[in-house]
Amino acid sequence: MTSPAARDKFRSFLAKKGLRMTSQRLAIFDAALGQAEHFTAEQLLEHARAIDSSVSRATVYRTLPIMTKSALLREVDIGSGEKFYRPNQEGGDQQVAQVVCVDCDRIFEISAPFMSWYGNTVSSKLGLTPVSQRLQVSAQCDTFRRTGSCPRRG
């Protein structure tokens, strides 16, 4: 279940853009914010259609950038050609490093509190203020390499 504050934030953001909160957008919003793991647009389409069967693929692809710009979702690019998304947790620590398993493309996030210090330090040397940053590590699964089976596969 999504929080009323997040729903109000989305509704307000849509209104500022001259857009309405349609039943399809609401289903996409509920499906996206209900995910605990990273997801693709196609996975979101499947989850949203479980809520409202009328949700179209086009509406999902048009709504994802809106949700990203409103800071309700984070977009994650692991270099595979497909974007992944994850809900921004209200009050959550956004200073995370992403570790991508190259064997199964699963994305893990770990707390990385040093990122704030690093971003501020290197930016201030240039007279700039950081607005975003990311740390992403590609890693191999040792168990998969030994056994041919990934214990973290979904």
Rounded-to-integer distance, Cα 104 and Cα 96, Å: 20
Domain boundary pick from 32, 54, 88: 88
Domain that holds residue 141: 93-154
pLDDT value of position 61? 96
- In b/e form, how buried is each residue of 91-129, taking b as 16+ CB within 10 angstroms? eeeebbebebbebeebbebeebeebeeebeeeeeeeeee
pLDDT tens per residue, range 96-128: 777 778 777 777 877 778 888 888 888 999 999
Question: What CATH number did the domain enclosing 20 receive?
Answer: 1.10.10.10
67 and 28 together in one domain:
yes
- pTM greater than 0.85: no
- 72 and 97 assigned to the same domain: no
Are 18 and 32 within one domain? yes
